[in-house]
Chain A
Amino acid sequence: MLSHEFMRSALLAGSFVALACGTCGWFVVLRGQVFAGDALSHVAFPGALAAAAAGVDARVGLFVATVAVGVGIALLGRGTLVARGGGAGGSTPADDTAIGIVFTFVLGLGLFFLTLFSIGSAGGAGIQAAHTLFGSIFGLGAGEARVAALVGLAIVILVLVIARPLLFATLAPDVAAARGVPTRLLGVGFLALVGLVAAEATQAVGALLLLGLLAAPAAAAHRLTGRPFAGVLLAGLLAVVAMVVGLILAYALPWLPPSTAVIAIALTIYGASALAR
């Protein structure tokens, strides 16, 4: 199995993307922001289309769109927090509405660009768009895989750097603010980071399946341990396990798409964690 280059690339890129999703996901679940992460994964698609329309590399558009919308959602949510006077840390359920409206608009823009391509003669760009939407981890080249692994590693390091203040700001936002922790800046920065993860994972597992890697291993880790740093590590580890086992399974069973296999394993872990508790 490892003699195939596509499999080595998939395992390398997949493991690091999963590690980034898992560690970041632990905080996403803690802050109740799974919907925001989901929305960011959808935004990747219009971003790539817009970049293609502008003649820029689709990857640039993907990253710019997810990070920008992440920041936008955080800022809109901040407005809600101030208006309602709530201090629940991350996302009060009220921002769900803003998230929903923002990402629907961005997807509408995606539809606009898609039509732009189908009217024009650039049919190839439309195919590329579908490629962005679904991602194909078995289609990564060795070079792409190395870049993906490095970006994944960078995201993990960033998460670990802001982990302590972010934890403080999430669990006790008022106390943290009083102690001089820049809670709002952290909130915005964290969603920008989730945007990075979404853009990165889009290339590996596809925009639509990022959600499973972000939510399921992290939620399982939350069920299994209450200790924060053990939880972050466990979430990352479980995500990597889901990715590697899923990829091997998809390799062994040709009818099984890799994304389905990875998510199935992640969800099995999540389900099993309910039994273990």
Chain B
Amino acid sequence: MIATNTPRPTQRHTLMPTDSVNPTLSWNLPRDLGEVLEYHFMVNALLAGSVVAVMAGLVGWLMVLRREAFAGHTLSMMAFPGASGAALIGIPAAWGYFTFCGAGALAIGRFSGASRSSLREQSASIGAVQAAALALGFLFVSLYGGVLGDLESLLFGNILAISDGQVLVLAAVALAVVAALALWARPLLFASVDPDVASARGVPVTALSTGFLLLLGLAVAATSQITGPLLVFALLVAPAATAQRLTARPTLSLALTILLGLLIVWLGMGIAYFSVYPAGFFISAIAFSVYVLARVLRALHGRRGARADAAGASAPVKATA
């Protein structure tokens, strides 16, 4: 179902005035792929993107299960005070990202973990944490003196400027996150699915919750180097939400999540290489389309199941579900 997307850039290019420097997509896919991989920055981008897709898929799967999307979004907003604060004191932006994401995770865990009973308090306190972070970011920008790099690459990331060192750092972070998840997989899953019973059985639910938020913060900080903080959900939520809609079996949906994440990143970067538009746009658009497709399939499937007369007209879609 996704393979039909590939010819799209050709159409776009015939419609748009392109200058001769821009790469064009021919119908010879292996040749095009070879051309993409000739460039070191594209190899770095694809490596970093793959690493991040796997990590974001795993963490995002748990985040969707735990229904902590708002917390995840708030952590992604930590990039703003993180980057501006780092610029203010003159350290690399990534350090600021990681520091503020960690602090944000602790703050959310502290304020919303205690009142787990009330959804109302939880959503309000996460909102307050985010507002505080943004206000700090504004203060930093103002103290810095206004001109802060270019706003666009701060908000949406710059995938074509990933260095070898960054790939290594991302790989190390991903390895640590995946190892921690593997170590805590059973109690974390238990505490996520049924916190009350888990807590009665002696599972340290509050500690796990804070621990997971810290992992989420790490994953978000790493992902935002690829997609920019505003679009992390394209890799963090969309693959997991799609997979969890398509199947209820945990291992299958986890595998599907990672597969979808990788596909979204590769397709998005591949199309972006042959287009004038940035990768973030294609990655988020593909992620959104995949999710909508899954919902439509699910709805058709459900309707089909509900109605006894299965001789409906729109037959071809069902096979893929």
Q: Do A and B bind each other?
A: yes
In the complex, the answer to whether A260 meets B67 with C-beta atoms within 8 Å is: no
CB < 8 Å: which of B64, B70, B125, B283 contacts A35? B70
- DSSP class of A's interface residues: helix, strand, loop or mixed? helix
Stretch from B92-100, B132-140, B251-259 contacting the other chain = B132-140
Q: Counting chain A CB atoms within 10 Å of each CB, which of B70, B122, B125, B283 scores highest? A: B70
Stretch from B3-11, B169-177, B196-204, B228-236 contacting the other chain = B228-236
Stretch from A59-67, A90-98, A173-181 contacting the other chain = A90-98
In the complex, the answer to whether A32 meets B119 with C-beta atoms within 8 Å is: yes
In the complex, the answer to whether A263 meets B280 with C-beta atoms within 8 Å is: no
Which residues of chain B have C-beta atoms less than 8 A from A257's C-beta? 138-139, 141-142
In the complex, the answer to whether B64 meets A34 with C-beta atoms within 8 Å is: no
CA distance A111 to B130 in the complex (A): 22
Stretch from B38-46, B48-56, B284-292 contacting the other chain = B284-292
CA distance A222 to B124 in the complex (A): 10
Which residues of chain A have C-beta atoms less than 8 A from B285's C-beta? 105, 108-109
In the complex, the answer to whether A222 meets B131 with C-beta atoms within 8 Å is: no
Which residues of chain A have C-beta atoms less than 8 A from B127's C-beta? 34-35, 37-38, 211-212, 214-216, 219
Considering only CB atoms and an 8 Å cut-off, how many residues of chain B contact the other chain? 52
Considering only CB atoms and an 8 Å cut-off, how many residues of chain A contact the other chain? 55
User: Which chain B residue lies CB-closest to A83?
Assistant: B302
Q: How far is the CB of B132 from chain A (nearest CB, A)?
A: 6
Chain A, 103-140, contact with B by CB distance < 8 Å: what is the 0/1 string? 11101110110110011000000000010011000000
CA distance A100 to B237 in the complex (A): 7
In the complex, the answer to whether A263 meets B135 with C-beta atoms within 8 Å is: yes
Q: Does B194 belong to the interface (CB within 8 Å)?
A: no
Q: Does B123 belong to the interface (CB within 8 Å)?
A: yes
CB < 8 Å: which of B131, B276, B291 contacts A216? B131
With A108-B234, A209-B138, A257-B139 known as contacts, the answer to whether A29 contacts B124 (CB < 8 A) is: yes
With A97-B237, A219-B125 known as contacts, the answer to whether A104 contacts B288 (CB < 8 A) is: yes
In the complex, the answer to whether B291 meets A101 with C-beta atoms within 8 Å is: yes
In the complex, the answer to whether A260 meets B142 with C-beta atoms within 8 Å is: yes
Which residues of chain B have C-beta atoms less than 8 A from A99's C-beta? 69
Which residues of chain A have C-beta atoms less than 8 A from B274's C-beta? none
In the complex, the answer to whether A111 meets B280 with C-beta atoms within 8 Å is: yes
Residues of B within 8 A of A (CB): 64, 67-70, 72-73, 80, 119-128, 130-132, 134-136, 138-139, 141-143, 151-152, 156, 230-234, 237-238, 241, 276-278, 280-281, 283-285, 287-288, 291, 295
Q: What 3 pairs between A and B have smallest CB-CB spacing?
A: A108-B284, A212-B131, A215-B127
